[in-house]
Amino acid sequence: MTEGDYFHVYVVMELEDARLVPVSLEMLSEARRLIDNLNKKHGSDEKVVAVLLGHDVKRLTQTLIEHGADFVVYVDHPELKEVRNTIYTKVVSQIALDREIAAKVSAKYAEQFKKPRFMFFGADAIGRHLSSTALVELDSGLASDINKLEISDINLTHQNKTGGKQELYEKTLEMYRPDFSGFLWTTILCLDNKNPAIKRDYHPQACSIIPGVFEPLKPDSTRKGQVVEFVPRIDEQDLKVRILSRKAIKSDVDFESRKAVVSFGRGIRDFPEQNIKLVEGLAKQLGAEIGVSLPISKKPFSVSESLASTYMNSERVIGTSGKKVSPMLYVAVGISGAMQHVAGMKEAEFIVAINPDESSPIKDESDLFIKGRMEDVVPKLIEELKKQSSLVEA
Ligand SMILES: Cc1cc2nc3c(=O)[nH]c(=O)nc-3n(C[C@H](O)[C@H](O)[C@H](O)COP(=O)(O)OP(=O)(O)OC[C@H]3O[C@@H](n4cnc5c(N)ncnc54)[C@H](O)[C@@H]3O)c2cc1C
Pocket of ligand 1 contains residue 179 by CB under 6 Å: no
362-378 mean pLDDT? 98
> pTM here?
0.85
Q: Give pLDDT tens digits for 259-283.
A: 999 999 999 999 999 999 999 999 9
Whether residue 2 has pLDDT greater than 70: no
**Cα-based distances in Å from 283 to 128, 298, 341:** 33, 22, 19
Q: Give pLDDT tens digits for 339-359.
A: 999 999 999 999 999 999 999
Q: Give pLDDT tens digits for 14-73.
A: 999 899 999 999 999 999 999 999 999 999 999 999 999 999 999 999 999 999 999 999
DSSP designation for 361: T
pLDDT score for 179: 82
For ligand 1, mutation pick of 180, 273, 336 (most atoms within 8 Å of CB): 336
Please indicate whether residue 246 or residue 137 has the higher confidence score (pLDDT): 137
Pocket of ligand 1 contains residue 361 by CB under 6 Å: no
CA 281 from chain center: how many Å? 33
- Dist. CA 148 → ligand 1 center (Å): 22
Q: Are strands 19-20 and 15-16 parallel, antiparallel or unpaired?
A: antiparallel
pLDDT score for 1: 46
- Dist. CA 174 → ligand 1 center (Å): 27
Q: Give pLDDT tens digits for 45-58.
A: 999 999 999 999 99
- Dist. CA 297 → ligand 1 center (Å): 11
Average pLDDT, the chain: 95
Please name the residue whose Cα sits nearest to atom 44 of ligand 1: 334
- Dist. CA 284 → ligand 1 center (Å): 23
Pocket of ligand 1 contains residue 317 by CB under 6 Å: yes
Cα 369 from Cα 367, distance rounded (Å): 7
- Shortest-distance atom of ligand 1 to CA 296: 26
- Shortest-distance atom of ligand 1 to CA 293: 11
Question: Count of H helices and E strands in the chain?
Answer: 11, 17
Q: Which residues contact 381 (CB under 8 A, 6 or more apart)?
A: 282, 285
225-254 mean pLDDT? 90
Cα 98 from Cα 90, distance rounded (Å): 12
Cα 265 from Cα 244, distance rounded (Å): 39
- Dist. CA 294 → ligand 1 center (Å): 7
Q: Are strands 205-209 and 142-146 parallel, antiparallel or unpaired?
A: parallel
- Dist. CA 337 → ligand 1 center (Å): 6
Amino acid at 213: V
pLDDT score for 249: 79
DSSP element (H, E) containing 341? helix 339-342
- Dist. CA 322 → ligand 1 center (Å): 13
Ramachandran class of 56: left when φ > 0, alpha when ψ lies in -120 to 50, beta otherwise: left
Cα 137 from Cα 131, distance rounded (Å): 10
Yes or no: say if 198 and 190 are a contact pair by the CB < 8 Å rule. no
Beta strands in 136-235 (DSSP E): 142-146, 148-157, 166-178, 185-188, 205-209, 226-229
Yes or no: say if 345 and 261 are a contact pair by the CB < 8 Å rule. yes
What share of the chain in percent tops pLDDT 70?
Answer: 99
Q: Which domains does the chain have, with CATH numbers?
A: 3-239 (3.40.50.620), 260-393 (3.40.50.1220)
Pocket of ligand 1 contains residue 212 by CB under 6 Å: no
Cα 390 from Cα 292, distance rounded (Å): 29
For ligand 1, mutation pick of 275, 340, 351 (most atoms within 8 Å of CB): 340
pLDDT score for 394: 67
**Cis geometry, peptide bond prior to residue 272 (ω within 30 degrees of 0):** no
What share of the chain in percent tops pLDDT 90?
Answer: 87
Pocket of ligand 1 contains residue 265 by CB under 6 Å: yes
